[in-house]
A and B are shown apart, each in its own frame.
Chain A
Amino acid sequence: MSSTGATTSTSRIERFRENVSEDFTTTTWVLIPLGIGINAIGGFIASTLKLPLFLDNIGTMLIGILAGPWAAALTGALANLIQAMLGNPVQLAFMPVPVAIGLVTGFLARRGWFDSVKKTIVPAIVLTVVATIIATPIVVLVFGGVTSSGTSLVTATLVATGRSLVESAATAQFAVEFVDKGGSAFIAYFIGKSVPSRYLPPQGQDIYS
């Protein structure tokens, strides 16, 4: 009994490893830097259009839709490291957030939640919740409740009304993530959709066909 159990668990690990390595074709490896580039450009687009958003995870989400969860998680982690190399090391503490965003987007895309605009509401909500749950403890424990100026202002206002730090930081984080990550999910959906399918990698073609 135990030996069969061991074999199934090894074969499960092998199958998992195969699944992961199947995601990483040469096209995927080339897409990852492009996803990181699109992440870096989000802020530029937001400031061109004078929108109060970060939009710094659109590339990660796009890789999740086009190439799967593992490639997207790697994109998120590397994008975070690259940001540190470009002069913003504070972001390093938030690395679990983009990794989770990549994984969640990739798995939801495979389950068909990016098939239509209506369905995209689900990833938008799930991503908001996941980002809030992961980011809040980091904000509170590592940064004492302080993040970017806009979010900090909301947190400060809530603290001033007598709420606890955790509650204030979580509320501020949720409000910001809802607009930013939720919005980004729709943006990623529409951008992916507007690309002619012959340019898309296999998973992307499946999703948008």
Chain B
Amino acid sequence: MPDSDTSIYQPGESILHRMNPVTEIVLATCLSLVVFIVGDYRIPLALALVLIGFVFVARVHGLLLKLYGAVAVPFAFFLLLIQGILLRPADPTALYTFGSITVWESGFEQARLIFLRISVLILAFLLFATTAQPQRMRIALMEKGVPSKLAYVFIASLQIIPEIRDRAGAISEAQQARGLDTTADVRTRLSSIVALLAPLLISTLIVANTRALALNARGFQSEGPRTYLYEVSDPTGERVLRYLGGVAVIAAIGWRILI
């Protein structure tokens, strides 16, 4: 069963691909928390550069940098516009002046900090999503005590999205053949949403009933230990790394309070 066509997972052999997916989640979360707690822009800048280094180590730069750019470029533009130019700061020191447009120094500093923070968040989670194979992630999560039902829902959602997308495409074509007009006035188009989504919901509800029967027949509601097809290793080094992530968050909070 292809499990890589929905998520943005890129197969590979790098150190990040071999890492336990739980370690990756913990580290991505801790890094994101640290940069939002700390108020100095140099820390998110350094972390973002390290993460970009890992992007190249993992050889996922093609897809990842494209996704990052798609979010970061418009974000940077609006951030600079709102924070740097339009919002009048308490301390009106100009950084640059082009004709009638002034970029305020304090606004620019605020925009730089927010942009770098968001960059760390995006890079860390994209690195995780591109290097953690979904099936390995499910097993790793279940070994850490996540209920099997929750793990099922997670993986099933990733797999079901392209299925539903195909179905929605087919329904859209079928309804257009029956006269659904995608260029009509707004009122008609709004009421067309129901014509598109209702058949989708009915067909998915039927699928849901069948799936529920199939899952119950396979012991979905049963308790007790499970056996897995794959093994996901969890070496001591990674455990230490996860604790260090937690320590970094606490240290960041301490630093924020003291300084």
Contacts and interface: CB of A to CB of B under 8 A. Distances in A.
B207 A149 contact: no
Interface residues of B, number: 70
Interface string A81-101: 110111111101100000000
Interface in A56-95: 58, 62, 74, 78-79, 81-82, 84-90, 92-93
Contacts of B121: 89-90, 92-93
A109 to B, nearest CB: 15
Interface of A: 24-27, 29-34, 36-38, 40-41, 44-45, 48-51, 55, 58, 62, 74, 78-79, 81-82, 84-90, 92-93, 142-146, 149, 152-153, 155-156, 159-160, 162, 165, 183, 187, 190-192, 194-196, 199-200
B202 interface: yes
A77 to B, nearest CB: 10
Contact of A84 (B125, B193, B201, B209): B125
Contacts of A162: 88
Contacts of B110: 144
Q: Is the interface of A mostly helix, strand, loop or mixed?
A: helix
Contact of B153 (A32, A145, A155): A32
Contacts of B7: 85-86
B86 interface: yes
Main secondary structure of the interface of B (DSSP, over half): helix
Contacts of B154: 78, 81-82
Given A33-B156, A149-B74, 17 more contacts: A26-B221, A29-B215, A40-B161, A40-B165, A41-B168, A45-B168, A49-B193, A82-B161, A89-B122, A142-B117, A142-B118, A143-B79, A144-B114, A145-B79, A156-B78, A191-B198, A191-B201
Given A26-B221, A32-B153, A41-B164, A51 B126 contact: no
Contacts of B215: 26, 29-30
Contact of B129 (A62, A89, A196): A89
A88 B71 contact: yes
Contact of A50 (B126, B156, B182): B182
A195 B202 contact: yes
B55 to A, nearest CB: 14
B233 interface: no
Given A81-B154, A84-B129, A156-B81, A45 B164 contact: no
A90 B71 contact: yes
A62 B74 CA distance: 32
A197 to B, nearest CB: 11
Interface in B12-54: 32, 36
Interface in B53-96: 67, 71, 74-75, 78-79, 81-83, 86-88
A190 B86 contact: no
B8 A87 contact: yes
Closest 5 CB pairs of A and B: A89-B125, A37-B164, A33-B156, A194-B198, A152-B78
A36 B157 contact: yes
B193 A45 contact: yes
B193 A187 contact: yes
B158 interface: yes
B243 interface: no
Contact of B8 (A50, A74, A85): A85
Contacts of A41: 164-165, 168, 197, 200
Given A142-B36, A191-B198, A50 B183 contact: yes
